Amino acid sequence: MKTIKRIAAAAAAALCLTAAAGCSGEKGFMGNTEEVSLEEGDVFAVISILDYGDITVKLFPTAAPNAVKRFIKLAEDKSYDGRTIHRVVKDKLIQGGSLTGTGFDGNVAKQEYFAEETSKYMCHYYGALCMAKSEDGNYRQFYIVNNKTPAKIDELAETIKAQLADEEIGGKMLDTDKEYYKDYSSKLSNMPAEVKERYSQVGGLFDLDGKDTVFGQVVDGYDVLEKINGVETVNGNKSDDKQDIASKPIDEIIIEKIEVIRIAPAETTVTEKTKTTRAPSKTQATQEVIVDDNNTPATVSGRETEAEPETAAASASVPEATE
């Protein structure tokens, strides 16, 4: 029974991966799947967290124009100043930007929300900056992926195939379920090779690909992410409470400001502030891919953070928010 549960947990990511396979950026665009650094013509943001330090994030307006436009507007209007990081799911993600500091944003007009913007090469790798959405869409809250455990995508796919072939497991499943899991395993196997390789190097939350909007990538300040990851947390975020995940920081983590900086193209004479940064170093750690009974993720449904079904181990807890 436990093994069947593991298969079901892994299968929860299937729809996300299917969606990711259906959309891509411009020809030759590799998004945050390749090594990310700041170059001439780029726009980036410096997220200053009071008493913790700065997190520098490269933005991708070509891949997610609406998300980047909204994020820049809110930052330049100082709407993020003084808001909090209200959710810290250890070794998974940090989330903030809520108007109330609780994951709720009050009564928001429907037209203020915008739809997901996905690309097969904009993925939830360690350090990805993403929009946290409600059932109405994306509004203002964001999260940064903080899972750096390498994901072995092909191994997960093969494990599912083997378990389905096992009479003790697959033999007791409905034919419709078997087909579903076979399809999921196939989709894992068919993920772009570059994406699977990147996840095996830096980790992340691959089950969210194609579901949430990735619009940026951390290029500096991973040490700040690690400091925040280590804070003491208690219950207090509704969706995580349902899964007994303590994700509310005991002490407030305040976003002091978010500064948006544009690097002038080489041909212009405009001088603007730039920052030299590096992408994270590659890690060689290994991991067990199938989730176990205690590895339950959380996501949002509706206008608050809600629980989500079990997913692949590489991405246990998920974001989403707003009201």
323 and 106 Cβ atoms separated by less than 8 Å: yes
Tell me the pLDDT of the chain (323 aa) as tens digits.
Answer: 333 333 333 333 332 322 333 333 445 789 999 999 999 999 999 999 999 999 999 999 999 999 999 999 999 999 999 999 999 999 999 999 999 988 888 888 899 999 999 998 999 999 999 999 988 899 999 999 999 999 999 999 999 999 998 888 888 889 899 898 988 888 788 899 999 999 999 999 998 998 999 999 999 999 999 999 999 999 999 889 999 999 999 999 999 999 999 999 876 544 444 444 444 443 333 222 222 333 333 333 223 333 232 333 333 344 444 44
- Predicted TM-score (pTM) of the model is 0.75
SS3 assignment for 142-172: EEEECCCCCCCHHHHHHHHHHHHHCCCCHHH
Burial of 28 (0-12, 13-18, 19+ CB in 10 A): exposed
| Whole-number Å distance between alpha carbons of 24 and 253 | 35
Distance of alpha carbon 139 from alpha carbon 110, whole angstroms: 10
With tokens 């809600």, the residue in question is 306
Which domains are seen in the chain, by residue range? 2-315 (2.40.100.10)
Cβ neighbours for 24, distance < 8 A, ≥ 6 positions apart: 119, 120, 121
